[in-house]
Amino acid sequence: INNVLRVLEEKNYSGLDIDFEYIYPSDRENYNNFLRKVVARLRPLGYSITTALAPKISADQEGILYEAHDYPVHGELADHVIIMTYEWGYTYSPPRAVAPINEVRRVLNYAVTAIPRQKIFMGIPNYGYNWTLPFEEGTAAQTISNVGAVDLAYNVGASISFDPIAQAPYFRYYDENGRQHEVWFEDARSILAKLTLANEFRVGGLSYWTINRYFPQNWLVLNSVYDVVKVL
């Protein structure tokens, strides 16, 4: 905590985001107590404290990603919580949307019962994945930018489809070696679906992972839905 304070002061940062993942369930209360200590030190000095939480659908959800993340405690202690509502489709998973809207809805259904709505920042992915087919356990998909996915579809002559349940775009193509690929990513339609869901649940805000990837469609949609004001 002393090191954190030193960096905050040296860099003139406004606050801290705590993102500890894969914590053993037995360390749940240790993590809660660590957060209490951080808040006790930083808040009197005017710093904001944000925590990142795995996308849980119930308080007792099992798994090393979920069990040590105590939604009610984080909701009580932190100024805001970022719920990482992405990575259903991930590097080592079978092909699917990174943030299917139906799965995100399940997470928010639980989150608003445990955390004040105004403290919740809903996570939005700014990337996609390119899988080689047929999927084999242990193989890795390649990360692809949303702009890169559209460029790839154009270059290989693939038609982009849109999944009505996941509310996400995808396409398939064959590479120069005859291998089939499946690509899932985000576009203006999927972003609008996520913003609409965030408005429906009246959450406090959004959090992109990550903000620094070029994605002009996002900003067009975001600015059509919200009046964005720079505060920092």
- Assigned domain for 30 exists: yes
CATH code of the domain containing 210 = 3.20.20.80
- Assigned domain for 141 exists: no
- Any idea what DSSP says for residue 135? -
Closest by CA position to 53, among listed 97, 17, 25, 24: 17
- Assigned domain for 152 exists: no
> Where are the strands (E) in 19-110, listed by range?
48-53, 80-83
Measured CA to CA in angstroms, residue 154 lies from 150, 169, 179, 232 at distances of 6, 14, 18, 38
Measure the CA–CA gap between 151 and 106, rounded to whole angstroms: 32
Q: Specify the amino acid at residue 21.
A: E
Q: Which helix (H) or strand (E) holds 188?
A: helix 188-201
Measured CA to CA in angstroms, residue 155 lies from 69, 131, 141, 159, 213 at distances of 43, 17, 20, 11, 21
Which of the residues 9, 21, 29, 200 is marked catalytic? 21
- Assigned domain for 179 exists: no
pLDDT at 229: 84
- Assigned domain for 93 exists: yes
CB of 98 within 8 A of CB of 129? yes
- Any idea what DSSP says for residue 47? -
- Assigned domain for 39 exists: yes
Domain count, the chain: 1
Q: Which domain holds residue 18?
A: 2-126+187-225
- Assigned domain for 148 exists: no
- Assigned domain for 95 exists: yes
Per-position b or e across 44-71, b if 16+ CB within 10 A of its CB: eeebebbbbbbbbeeeeeeeebbbbbbb
Give me the tens of pLDDT residue by residue for the chain, a chain 232 residues long.
Answer: 999 999 999 999 999 999 999 999 999 999 999 999 999 999 999 999 999 999 999 999 999 999 999 999 999 999 999 999 999 999 999 999 999 999 999 999 999 999 999 999 999 999 999 999 999 999 999 999 999 999 999 999 999 999 999 999 999 999 999 999 999 999 999 999 999 999 999 999 999 999 889 999 999 999 999 998 887 7
76 is catalytic: no
